[in-house]
Amino acid sequence: MKSRNPLYILLMFLFLVTGCGQKERNRTQFLQELQSIDIRRGEITLCGSEQGSFGKVSFGLSCAEKVRADFNLATALLHSFEYPEAEKVFAKVIDADPECVMAYWGVAMSNFHPLWAQPAKEELVKGEKTLALARSLKSTSQRESDYLEAIGAFYDHWDSLDHATRVSKFEHATEAIYRKYPDDKEAAIFYALALRAASDPADKTFAKQRKAGEILNALFTAEPDHPGIAHYLIHTYDYPELATLGLPAARKYASIAAASAHAQHMPSHIFTRLGLWNESIQSNLNSISAARCYAENSGLKGHWDEELHGIDYLVYAYLQQGRDDLAKEQLDYLGTIDLVSPVNGKDAYTMAAVPVRYALERKDWKAAAALELPSSQNFPWDNFPWEKAVLSFGKALGAAHVHQQDAAVQALHALEDSYKRLAEKGKMYEANQVLIQMKASQAWMKFFEGHKEEAFQLMTEAATLEDATEKHPVTPGEVLPARELLADMYFESGDYIKALATYEEDLKRHAGRFNGLYGAAQAAQKSGNILKAVQYYRELVAMAPSYDHKRAALLYTEAFLKKHV
């Protein structure tokens, strides 16, 4: 064999040494950049009736065998919106296998939360930096590269493209994966999530929701313990027109992810839509208990937002059954909370809505007129104009009913200020919610001033707007539905036939509401339709069969049924 030129051998040696050195420098720089990102790390902290149970996920993965169980756990947490804990486990995967591209995808997904509040700037920056690192790696899997680019479609140009546009880009990217890999169950599940996230609240055909439901239901029978399928089915069908379709998933999901506070709460979205108050109450009691356990075990400062979220749904359900004493206990407890974490719209909505619900559902107009923002909470209310508007609305209705004109006008001005601030920020969904409240407030002010025609016009406009707009997932329902308020106005004016028809129309969208059923019964009785009155009075007492009947409405209902049945 012919000997190598010594100079050639020396150059090759220097090239290899230099290349290895460059590779090591690149690896060191990569790890330094990774450590500079504030990715959550640590052991997961969750509580539930079966601590450690989050459902079953099997995500085909090219990463090291040693990290696959943790990756599946992280993905299960992601599917139950346990975002901080999911991020911790994805970080654990990265630390064990820094070249696992999908673990970076997981961190980015953990900061996206498509059906919750939009990511804060620091979350967008974290996602962007994490994706940049992942893109510098050489993935051996085209499928995993496709997943990475799908979430990249959301984070890319986040500082120049609006949130809705980027969610739409994410939807189209996940659809491409779904179609490219037809045997990939996770692709189908994440595409269904993307469809729900990109759905138009004004689309009453529910086209994207129905499509998502078809995809998920096709998987549900074969994957009954997958947390994402059941969870996303609930979100997909969280509408009055679709809620019955979500009942099987609602009754299954809590047992799938027993250690997740959100999984304990989420079924109550469907229970609330269908007026299944006992199931909603139990769901939220479990969720609140798990949330308190999580806050304590994780060393969280203050009360976790999941606890407050559950309290709002719990109070709503109690009030629909006339269990005012239990609702008052939650209201009083809420008043003792002086620190929440994280500070967000869920906290703000609960703190504003619960006292309003307690006053308005009981028609305690004097208490409603005296409502003020909670003073015990050190809370940045100026950052939450939509949530503040809920209290202004309650105050306006209360003041109008007790004929405190100046106070009603002042509350209306507060609503107008919230509307202006939201519109200026381009938050038109929230602005339109406040617009509905403004019209309803003005309607009752006009009604008690004697301007009945204008009052009915405004109240009808409010009801029509609300019918065309879906409620936000943060709330179990409007503090008082606009169409129910319209029915109340017909009743107050003595038009009992129109009142009955309007109550019945509203009950189609707000099943099992105490005031809707009682209003319908009263209107039927006043209009001479005793059979229908008996029907609605019976429904009302069936909803609260064994509780201390302290509301005058329930006492009257029992007396009426004794006489007529």
Tell me if 532 is assigned to some domain.
yes
Tell me if 13 is assigned to some domain.
yes
Q: Which of 2-11, 181-190, 503-512 shows the lowest mean pLDDT across its residues?
A: 2-11
Q: Would you place residue 25 in the very low, low, confident or very high pLDDT band (cuts 50, 70, 90)?
A: low
**Boundaries of domain holding 31:** 1-35
pLDDT in tens, 48-60: 544 458 999 999 8
Tell me if 509 is assigned to some domain.
yes
Cα dihedral 480, 273, 204, 161 sign = positive
Residue 45 pLDDT greater than 70, yes or no:
yes
Return the percentage of the chain with pLDDT > 70, whole number: 93
How many angstroms separate the CA atoms of 350 and 384, rounded?
A: 12
Number of domains the chain is built from? 2
CATH number at residue 541: 1.25.40.10
Tell me if 330 is assigned to some domain.
no
The pLDDT value recorded for residue 5 is 58
How many angstroms separate the CA atoms of 271 and 280, rounded?
A: 5
Residue 522 pLDDT greater than 70, yes or no:
yes
Tell me if 102 is assigned to some domain.
no
Question: What is the per-residue DSSP string for 128-189?
Answer: HHHHHHHHTS--S-HHHHHHHHHHHHHHTTTTTS-HHHHHHHHHHHHHHHHHH-TT-HHHHH
Tell me if 241 is assigned to some domain.
no
Residue 14 pLDDT greater than 70, yes or no:
no
Nearest residue to 283 via CA among 293, 272, 297:
272
Tell me if 490 is assigned to some domain.
yes
Q: Would you place residue 298 in the very low, low, confident or very high pLDDT band (cuts 50, 70, 90)?
A: confident
Tell me if 12 is assigned to some domain.
yes
The pLDDT value recorded for residue 13 is 46
The pLDDT value recorded for residue 33 is 86
